[in-house]
Amino acid sequence: MSFLEKIRPFKEAEAEVLRARYRVTQPRRPEPWPVRDFAGAVSGGGKLIAEIKFKSPSHPEFRQDIAPATLAAVYQRHGAAALSIVTDRANFGTSLDDIASLREASDLPVIAKDFIIDPAQVRAAWEAGADAILLIARMLDTTMIDHLLEVTRKLGLATLVECHDQADLAMAQNAGADLVGVNNRNLATLTTDLRHGGALLPLIPPGVTRVSESGLNSRSDILTMTDLGADAFLVGHALLLSRDPGRKVAELCGRLPETGIRVKVCGITNPADAILASQSGADMVGVIFANSPRRAEPDRIGEIRAALPMTRLCGVFMDQDLEEVADAAARFELDMVQLHGSESPGYCRELSAKVGLPLIKVLRPDEVTVEKVNDYEAAAYFMVDLPKGTRSQPGPAEAARAARIISDRGRDVFLAGALTPDNVAAGIRTAAPYAVDVASGVEKSQGVKDPDLVQAFCKETRT
């Protein structure tokens, strides 16, 4: 028995409850929630629909605990065109009740993905604030899909009709669907195969927005399906299995490279330097909240975020109160949190659960052991920071050893500490990091970046 067959009785029971409710009280959508243009947002080519769910029957080991609102904001900043939320709490952990928080956190239109077989479910999605719904052609007959499309049009909702074979495509076409999704998942085995969707996409007629769904894990997958005619891409697992969902969104959208060395310019104290770093090729900019000569004033941090709303912004903290860090992350819409002190694994776990952002834990080379990396499971990244100032301190060989230990445990490594345009290439050759971090090495005075040095650093990093 397929998953759709198993879930149908439960959806019939849910629909009956909704019908009984609406016989007494008509559904009402709050006035501040106009229907956003989902169809327009996902048309035009290369658009990513980023999905939110807490668990999945196809991946029993998968569990996601980042708040939906946090993910919505992260997805929008990193290039998503629309949001998808699976509204089946029993099987996926999220529901219609979560849509309100998505609308508050993001301007993106939201599609409610459920197993809809009755008009009452459509009305419930509209009432909850959805801008679009999903209809799975396999679950419907011709009469019902026509009726459901009529209901959604009257409510002003967009409808994505999901198809799995040519018969489904014919049903969608005959019903006049203008948004058609091709699911690359085999409903019997729950496995995915892009060749399946690739064979169906060219059969969708011109004028219909084509959405590729499931099994999209890399930028090359996106480009492959684009070549076959897909206009938009609904992605869930690739984002939610990532330790850094925002980075994954940006990579899938082509805004961040999937390979090569990334650059983080840290100690930014003003918008001009932030813009300089970004225009010079930096992938991330860092602002320091800890006590430091390069500590950025709150007003300047707000200006930096406003000047670069789509650039990855990392906040640097050191042994600070957890609530203080969480408040700053929310206030300034940080994308990453760097912990530069003696924060414990427990602190990191609690902070990660609270802010839902990737953490960078800074360690000296001599602190890095397999056991310590395992203890800091909540850290998405580690930064190997070479101490400055004395020849007796650990050097490149120790940094390379530490980086290998970390990368062997499946984590990406930032390399930092006294890096300059003159030595960064050698550091990269020695430690093979995911990214390099620079602050004083590109300054003309404390806290003020030198344009020539910033540009030279970024160039040398990628030579």
Give the active site residues.
51, 53, 113, 162, 183, 213-214
What's the farthest any 2 CA atoms get from each other in the chain? 79
Alpha helices per DSSP H over 141-241: 142-155, 166-174, 194-200, 219-227, 237-240
How many CB atoms within 10 Å of residue 178?
A: 15
Q: Is-contact 211 179, C-beta < 8 A?
A: yes
Residue type, 98: D
What gap in Å lies between CA 343 and CA 434, rounded to an integer?
23
Structure tokens at 396: 């490149």
Closest CA to 107 of 86, 136, 77: 77
Contacts of 225 (CB under 8 A, 6+ apart): 194, 197, 198, 201, 212, 216, 233
- Helices vs. strands in the chain: H and E counts, helices first: 20, 18
| DSSP structural state of residue 355 | H
Q: Which long-range contacts (CB under 8 A, 24 or more apart) does 311-314 make?
A: 311/274, 311/278, 311/284, 311/285, 312/78, 312/246, 312/247, 312/250, 312/283, 312/284, 312/285, 312/336, 313/284, 313/285, 313/286, 313/287, 314/264, 314/266, 314/284, 314/285, 314/286, 314/287, 314/338, 314/360
**97: part of which helix (H) or strand (E)?**
none
Closest CA to 84 of 131, 153, 154, 36: 131
What gap in Å lies between CA 25 and CA 437, rounded to an integer?
58
